Amino acid sequence: MSLLTLRDLTVRRGDCPVVDHVSFSVGPGECIGLIGPNGAGKTTLLRAALGLLPASGDSTLAALPALERARTAAWMPQAREIAWPVTVERLIALGRIPHLPRGARLRPEDRAAVDAAIARMELESYRNRTATQLSGGEQGRVLIARALAQDTPLLIADEPIAGLDPAHQIATMQVFETLAAEGRSVIVSLHDLGLAARHCTRLLMMERGRLAADGAPGEVLTPENVDRVFGVSAFYENTAQGPVFQPMTVTR
Amino acid sequence: MRLAIGMVLLVAALFVASLLSGQAPVGAGQSLQALVAGDGTPLSVVMREIRLPRALLAAMIGAVLGLSGAAMQGYLRNPLAEPGLIGISGAAALGAVLAIQTGLSLMFPLALPLAALGMAVLAVLLILMLAGPRGASITLILAGIAISALAGALISLALNLSPNPFAAADIVFWMMGSLADRSFTHVWLALPFMAVGAALLASLGRGLDALTLGEDAAQAMGVNLTGLRLRLVLGTAACVGAATAVAGAIGFVGLVVPHLLRPAVGARPSALLWASALGGAAMVLAADIAVRELLPARDLKLGVLMALVGAPLFLHLIYKTRKEMA
Amino acid sequence: MRGCVRPSKVIALIAALVLTGAAALAETAPKRVVSVNLCTDQLALMLAAPGQIVSLSHLSQDPDSSSMAEAAQAYPTNGSGAEEVYLLKPDLVLAGSFTAASTIQMLRDLGIRVEQFAPARSLEDVPDRIAQMGAALGREPQARALIRRFRADLARLSISPAHRPRAALYYVNSYTVGDRTLAGDILRAAGFDNVATEVGFARGGTLALEQLILLAPDVIIRGRDYPGQSRAEEVLAHPALHALHQTRVAGTLTDRDWICGTPMVLSAVEKLRDLRLSLEAGE
């Protein structure tokens, strides 16, 4: 049972294909890392897959009606907008909007989902604070919690751990891992290849709009790929504490 | 909800106070009795034909102006958005003036609110086009200044070209607004448009809440942004158009009321919608009472009082958000 | 008969003096009269000798404003500006006391005689204006005759009735006028009491619609209908005016006859008197 299937998805800006005939399929229980250098088209790919951008090719998610799509996949954009000074709890509760019947207040199951999201992201002490007064990193965690509260089989996040401190970076990746273990799937775009290697079950590597590699971290992060796509050489070893990947020098 | 009950009571109290405000030297009890009795005595006529429609209009206009202010701010995600400031009231006034001066409203009374609505739609579309998705404050204000200036100039022109010697002085009414001597004719003229407009705007609650996270996230949560925008445009135009057609351009309600009530509703755009409607009704009722009590002999225009309260607040808002605007 | 003037020479001298004096007197009557004010237009039309008037203001031909619009058609009109008037080479300019002071000053500086007429504030002012116009035009006998006729007609029309109904004059922007105005005096002469005096208006002022309704006059006389539309006129169509059962709303009786202090005001008095009689008959 596929949660998302892309077939030849292409997004053009003028003549130039920003996303070029990308195809892959996502099943349950996967924690997928979307990696690539700046300008590779990661954000565009995710937005096109969600149907937020016009694209040619097929995306099963984009083909769904809006409400069903919202209950299938939660999207956390890169731009962390919080327009109004709401409390953290209220902000996270916004994730329940696709599930609420017209204009209804939060039902017990909605409150439960919000509480679960707060617990997962360790935001209990932030519940009543004003979201706009938090630091960038704290806001990032709150927005992830919002996506979690949406309680969807698929979670798609665009650079969710950027700006977080190491502890919270690792904790968040562990949350995604746990979700995958529970049977959901997560697609996360990120720049930290080390974290990607340690926590993702599968990596999608993008280069200039094309899908350059698709597979387990060990298969994707070969020295040739890393050199060709990222222009760096790296230290990559499976240690007793799990895989360690550290870019070392610039090759280009 | 305590806030809701409190606001409803406030509006009700101000409504009664508005009915009792005026130049007749009679007691409150007698006035209210005359209102209910409707026995054709002069006091009864005053209460039913002059004060009652005035109080109703004050409440209706205040409600829709507050509502459309909250809706525009929620959509544009900018606390400075307000129908008066961004030129929609001015455009609506222009439509109304054109309907009157061409004689269209004489032939076809509904032409008055419809013309105001039509011009308001154009203005809203222009604003959205110029200051579009999360438009910077500066673009919004500049667009508003431009539209207001153009509307004001065209109104002046239309009125000065009129063969009627009193038309030129009408501009004060259109630009400043007034509820003096409104009748039930005006109430019935405005009510259908206000009802439709308010219904459209009230349906925006969920979408505006979702927009707190930005357009991308809102769309991904199932909000139809195109539909939302359409309802916003039509709803605002209907509300502001009808209000302006019968009472002139009344500004600052949509700015002051959402700003004051935002902390009380936890900054949720959906809650702010109904709170601003009630708050707007209270504000305009209070202002209309003040206009009659402060300087009873002179015809003080409603807009003057609004500006005296609203403009300093506007300055304060600019000061507070000036770093973002730079 | 040396040292003594001959009688025939004296007679000739006296005759010469008389003739010169008469000629001089005849020459003081202006020959080219230009009027730049609606009210002086109409008074001049009534009193002037044929050929005396050279030009009238263009309001004189407006049937909404001028009671003598048809008679005024025979004359060219001017826009009341100093340049235009000067080029007509008048020897007398008739103006109102509220005509633009700069225009009047300009004409006087150019050496033209300007006679200013104050607006009439009561019916008694009308004979004064007629006399002033007669003196200015050198038509005193005609003026005196007109005054005599006016006084007689007025006396006939303004027989004070036993019961004086209460009336209100209501104009655009809720304006009303009291007894010490021409309109108020016309009302009084026709046999009405002006409710404006009950609230303390001697001249004019704004009477809120509420106050008017509470005064519950027997008649409300509305201001005239102007061309085009303005929102300011809406108050005259307010439903509240018709909601009082005891009050008759008379139409737009205040028309061109009410504006100026000319004998035409008598037709205004007559129309109002007929209104009063119809009220009494209706009751």
Give the chain C residue whose CA is nearest to the CA of B101.
C229
- The CATH T-level fold of domain B56-325 is ABC transporter involved in vitamin B12 uptake, BtuC (1.10.3470)
CB A4 within 8 A of CB A25: yes
C234 in a structural domain:
yes
For C209, which residue in chain B has the nearest alpha carbon? B181
Measured between alpha carbons, how far is B175 from B244 in angstroms, rounded to an integer?
10
Q: Does A70 touch chain B (CB under 8 A)?
A: yes
So what's the ipTM on this one?
0.90
Nearest chain B Cα distance for residue C32, angstroms: 32
pLDDT at A182: 93
Stronger pLDDT, A163 or B56, i.e. the higher one: B56
Of chain B, the end-to-end C-alpha distance in Å amounts to 39
| CB contact A248 to B (< 8 Å) | no
The ranges assigned to domains in chain A are 4-79+153-250
Nearest residue of chain B to residue A94 (CA atoms): B210
Shortest CA gap B236–chain A (Å): 20
**The pTM is what?**
0.84
Q: Average pLDDT in the A130-136 region?
A: 92
Which pLDDT score is estimated for C142? 92
Considering only CB atoms, C213 lies closest to which of B45, B101, B297, namely: B45
Nearest by CB: B101 against C216, C229, C232 = C229
CB proximity list for C91: less than 8 A, separation 6 or greater: C30, C31, C32, C33, C112, C113
In this complex, do A66 and B77 lie within 8 Å of one another by their Cβ atoms? no
What is the token pair recorded at B259? 């700003």
- Chain A residues lying within 8 Å of B81, measured CB to CB: none
Residue B169: how many CB atoms within 10 A of its CB? 15
Q: How confident is the model at residue B118 (pLDDT cuts 50, 70, 90)?
A: very high
Q: What torsion, rounded to 10 degrees, do the Cα atoms C23, C29, C34, C39 define?
A: -170
Domain stop point among C121, C155, C189: C155
Confidence band of C56 (pLDDT split at 50, 70, 90): very high
Interface mutation target, options B1, B221, B259, B273, chain A, most CBs of A under 10 Å: B221
C25 part of a folded domain:
no
Chain C interface test: which of B30, B46, B155 (most C C-beta within 10 Å): B46
Closest-CA distance, B212 to chain A, in angstroms, reads: 5
Which residue from B46, B101, B297 is facing C214, i.e. has the nearest CB?
B46
Q: Looking at beta carbons, which residues of chain B come within 8 Å of C216?
A: 42
How far is the C-alpha of A47 from the C-alpha of A41, rounded, in Å? 10
CB-defined contacts B:C, below 8 A? 92
Beta-bridge mates of residue C143: none
Q: What pLDDT does A103 receive?
A: 65
Please name the member of B134, B213, B216 whose beta carbon is closest to the beta carbon of A94.
Answer: B213
Residue-number span of the structural domain to which C261 is assigned: 166-282
Rounded CA separation C79/B46 (Å): 46
Q: Which of C230, C236, C245, C259 to mutate to test the interface with B (most CBs of B within 10 A)?
A: C230
Mean pLDDT value across chain B? 89
For B181, the closest of C215, C228, C238 (CB atoms) is C238
How far, CA to CA in Å, does C42 sit from each of B100, C37, C47, C264?
A: 34, 9, 9, 10
**A70: which chain B residues are within 8 Å (Cβ-Cβ)?**
220-222
Q: Which positions in chain B touch C215 (Cβ < 8 Å)?
A: 42
pLDDT tens, residue by residue, A216-244: 999 999 999 999 999 999 999 999 999 99
What Cα–Cα distance (Å) separates residue A252 from each residue in A22, A226, B201, C188, C202? 26, 12, 56, 106, 98
Record the tokens describing residue B160, joined without a space: 């000065």
Packed helices B88-101 and B225-247: angle between N→C axes, nearest 10 degrees: 50
Other CB atoms within 10 Å distance of the CB of residue B2: 7
CB contact under 8 A, B162 and C214: no
CB contact under 8 A, A76 and B206: no
Query: Per residue in C66-76, pLDDT tens?
Result: 888 899 999 99
Select from C155, C176, C205 the last residue of a domain: C155
Taking CA–CA distances from C227, the nearest residue in chain B reads B164
Check pLDDT > 90 for residue A72: yes
pLDDT digits (tens, 9 = 90+) for B252-297: 999 999 999 999 999 999 999 999 999 999 999 999 999 888 877 7
- Residues 6 or more apart in contact with residue B145 via CB below 8 angstroms: B87
pLDDT exceeding 70 applies to what percent of chain C?
89
C267: exposed, middle or buried (Cβ count in 10 Å: 0-12, 13-18, 19+): middle
Identify which of C80, C65, C280 has the alpha carbon closest to the alpha carbon of residue C163. C280
The string of pLDDT tens digits covering residues B81-105 is 888 888 899 999 999 999 988 888 8
pLDDT of residue C193: 92
Residues of B with a Cβ under 8 Å from any C Cβ are: 22-24, 40, 42-43, 45-46, 48-51, 100-101, 103, 105-106, 159, 162-167, 169-170, 173-174, 180-181, 183-185, 297, 299
Check B222 against A74: CB less than 8 A apart. no
Name the pLDDT band for C151 (thresholds 50, 70, 90).
Answer: very high
Q: What is the pLDDT of residue C1?
A: 46
Does the residue C20 lie in any domain? no
Inter-chain CB proximity C214 and B167 less than 8 Å: no
For chain C, how many structural domains are there in total?
2
For residue A205, which of A174, A226, A223, A186 has the smallest C-alpha distance? Answer: A226
One domain, residues C96 and C201 = no
Nearest-by-CA chain A residue for B215? A81
Chain C residues with beta carbon closer than 8 angstroms to that of B170: 230-232
Cα of C273 to nearest chain B Cα, Å: 26
**Which chain A residues have a beta carbon less than 8 Å from that of B209?**
94, 97
CATH number reported for the structural domain that contains residue C40 in this entry? 3.40.50.1980
Contact flag for A and C (3+ C-beta pairs < 8 Å): no
CATH topology of domain A4-79+153-250: Rossmann fold (3.40.50)
pLDDT range class, residue B39, cuts 50, 70, 90:
confident
In whole angstroms, what is the distance from residue C243 CA to residue C57 CA? 42
Residues of A in contact with B216 (CB under 8 A): 47, 52, 75, 77, 79
Provide the angle, in degrees to the nearest 10, between the axes of the packed helices C265-282 and C140-157. Answer: 10
* Segment A168-201, tens digit of pLDDT: 999 999 999 999 999 999 999 999 999 999 999 9
Please report which residue ranges of C66-218 form alpha helices under DSSP H.
69-72, 82-87, 101-109, 125-137, 140-157, 182-189, 195-198, 209-215
Q: Measured between beta carbons, which residues in chain C are less than 8 angstroms from residue B107?
A: none
Residue C20's pLDDT is what?
55
Per-domain residue ranges of chain B: 56-325
B140-193 pLDDT tens trace? 788 888 999 999 999 999 988 888 878 888 888 888 899 988 899 999 999 999
A72 touches chain B (CB under 8 A): no
Residues C101-122: tens digit of each pLDDT: 899 999 999 999 999 999 999 9
Q: Which residues from chain C sit within 8 angstroms of residue B301, using beta carbons?
A: none
Rg over CA atoms, chain A: 18
Average confidence (pLDDT) over A41-65: 93
Measured between CA atoms, how close is A237 to chain B, in angstroms? 38
| CA-closest candidate to residue A130, choices A83, A80, A88 | A88
Paired sense of beta strands C219-222 and C248-250, if any: parallel
DSSP string of B8-65, one letter each residue: HHHHHHHHHHHHT-SS----HHHHHHHHHH--S-HHHHIIIIIIHHHHHHHHHHHHHH
Q: Check B216 against A75: CB less than 8 A apart.
A: yes
Chain A residues inside the 8 Å CB shell of B207: none
Whether B187 and B53 have beta carbons less than 8 Å apart is answered as yes
Q: How many CB atoms lie within 10 A of CB C227?
A: 9
- Residue at C21: amino acid letter: G
For chain A, what percent of residues have pLDDT higher than 90? Answer: 86
State residue A219's pLDDT score: 93
Residues C45 and C141 in one domain: yes
